[in-house]
Structures are given as structure tokens and as C-alpha cells.
Structure 1
């Protein structure tokens, strides 16, 4: 969770990017300064808009957005969560070297290395971002088609007249290696 990155926009201008607490502080400062432009925060891995509670002092905001501690091995970044499987799945996992946890981690890592799945996730994140930020801009439909056709040259050409921060961030999301 601590490796996740976010980007904040004030209208069509990129305000900040980085960890959530850092981005939230920049948005809080812009709101306090009376920014007239809409302030939106996006999670880079998914392209989704993130709602933030900006109340309180910067210290209170930073404390609220700190890394949550839960069950598991926090020093290793391991978080315990419930997994529901059929009995035959549990039997198979139990028979694997290292047990269920090791096997599940290996399966997840293997899936993360699957290039097609990562490419699709990056396209979806870029599309969600572009829908929110550029849905009313000229050539949005054509840019969307180029995005899903995996035609970067056509995508860049369709976004050429758009605000630089929007086009650059969309390409940045497309190049990112999203986490599962």
C-alpha cells in the first residue's frame, strides 16, 4: 500500500504526484488557497478518482493517511486477509511445497508478470483517467480507440492539442506497471 502512487489535478494542470499523504497535503493547500479549479486525485494503478477528507491540520491529515497496521507480518509488508476456496482447492494448496501462503504468493507473482494482463490494466487505468479529465476534449473518442488498439503513435497524435499535463499523465499511466 505504501508503494501506491497518486496524482492530483487542479483543473487540467497537474498539482502533485507521489504517495497519498504528500498529494493530499498539496490538495489541502490548494483548497486553502482558494483554488477555483476543480481538485481531483487519481490513483495511478487504477486511474480511479480518490475521495479525500481534507479536514484538520496538515499533521492530522498526514496521521489519517498513514499506513494502516493490520494482522500479518508488518515488517515484511504482509497483510492477513480471508480467502474462500473449495475444499479441493485447500487440499491442493496444502500438498504444495511451502503450504498455502507460499503457493498463493507464487501464483500472484506469476500473474503479475503476465504482460497482457498488465498491459490491459494500464490501458484501463489510462482510460478511467482520460474519461474523467478529457471526456469533453476534442478527439476523445478517437484517442480512446487508439488507446485500446495499443497504437501509441495515434494516441499521441489525438492528444496533441490537449493540455500537456493531461496527455503526459495518460502516457505515464500507460507505461506504468500496475500492481494486482
Structure 2
């Protein structure tokens, strides 16, 4: 498959395979019987959402169906995600017009480096803060999706969710500490970016 989707497969509370979707499907198709395959749950590592896989037929048939499915609807999404990650834009100065009140200009002129340097610094700081918030939200959502599917009836599930959204890593880890090891490990992996950097 042209764009790699990484996922993790669970049979009950145990991980049976992890890696690219193609690798996971091939591994479980070869290792598990039909009954186990009907109980298998595969989760997208980036969103925490389950991936529906039709295991009927030979491994080649399963992979062909996945290629057809993800080559159209989800394939576009993968392309957009990978396009966002490819390098930084070329640096260059572009002039433009900025309209500010006199007090804003006075403050900008008094800053070290002048108005242009100060504006660039302010924009970079705002972008960094926005990117961090987006990363936190995405990690929280992925952990939430997986927890809802796999740990909804686990001890202190609701308390763990509250700690996750409160950004309290210590309490979050405490609440999931007695969960099944593979579930706990995967939740921690999905929630790795769910807490502020300065915590």
C-alpha cells in the first residue's frame, strides 16, 4: 500500500500484531483460525479508531480489498496527512501590508530588532502554541477512542478519562495502572502527546 497506515491488533486484551496494516493483516491471517479472526479488533495507531477488515478468502484477497478501500476514501486522508508532514516551506521574505493602531506601532518600534523581527517572533510563538494544542487534542482523542472500545468497563475508566482531558499525566497513569498490560501500554502510547510539554 502506497501510504503506510500503522495499526495494532488485539485478541481479547492481548496484542497479537503491530505495524503496518499490510503486515498486521498478513500476520494474523497466517497465525489465527477463523473463529479468532472474527473476534480480532484492529486499531489505527493515529486515531485509536477500529479498522474494519474482511478476512474472508486468501490473504491476497484480503489485502486486495484493503487496497481498494484505502486507495479511495481513506487513501486521500493519508495523502493529506503525509503532505502536511513533508519538510518546512522554503524560507524567504515576503512583504505585505499590516494595519495596526498607533499604540501597536509604538510598541513594535520599541522592541529589540524592530517591528518586523517582533512580528515574526510573535507569529512563530502563536504557531507553536497552536501546533502543540492540536497535537494534545489529537492524542487525547486517539486515547479516548481506543479506551472507549477496549476499556469502557475497566476499573476507574471514567476517572482516567477525566484525568486525560484535564492534562494530569500522574493521575491518568495511576488510574490505568491495574489495567491489562497490553491495553495499558497501548493507551499510554496513544496518550503520549496528550499532556502539556512543561508538565
TM range (shorter): 0.5 to 0.7
Q: Which runs of 5+ in 2 are unaligned?
A: 84-93, 95-126, 195-199
Q: CA RMSD in A?
A: 3.2
Please identify, of 61-70 and 34-43, the stretch whose mean Cα deviation from structure 2 is larger.
Answer: 61-70
- Mapped to 2, the partners of 1:36 and 1:3 lie a distance apart of 22
> Closer, same or farther in 2 for the Cα pair 1:56/1:37, shift >3 Å?
closer
Alignment deviations for residues 48-82 of structure 1 (CA, whole Å, 9 cap, x no partner):
111111112122223333473899xx9xx87xxxx
Partner of 2:14: 13
Would the alpha carbon gap of residues 37 and 64 (structure 1) be closer, same or farther in structure 2, given more than 3 Å must change?
A: closer
Match in the other structure for 2:71 = 68
**More helix by percentage:** 2
- Residues 2 and 144 (structure 1), Cα distance of their counterparts in 2 relative to 1, 3 Å cut: same
* 8 A Cα contact 2:53 2:66, kept in partner: no
Q: 1:117 aligns with which of 123, 128, 134?
A: 134
Q: How many residues align?
A: 144
Deviation of 1:121 (Å): 0.7
Q: Is the 8 A contact 2:46 2:142 kept in 1?
A: yes
Q: TM-score with structure 1 length normalisation?
A: 0.67
Partner of 2:168: 151
CA contact (8 A) 2:4 2:21 kept: no
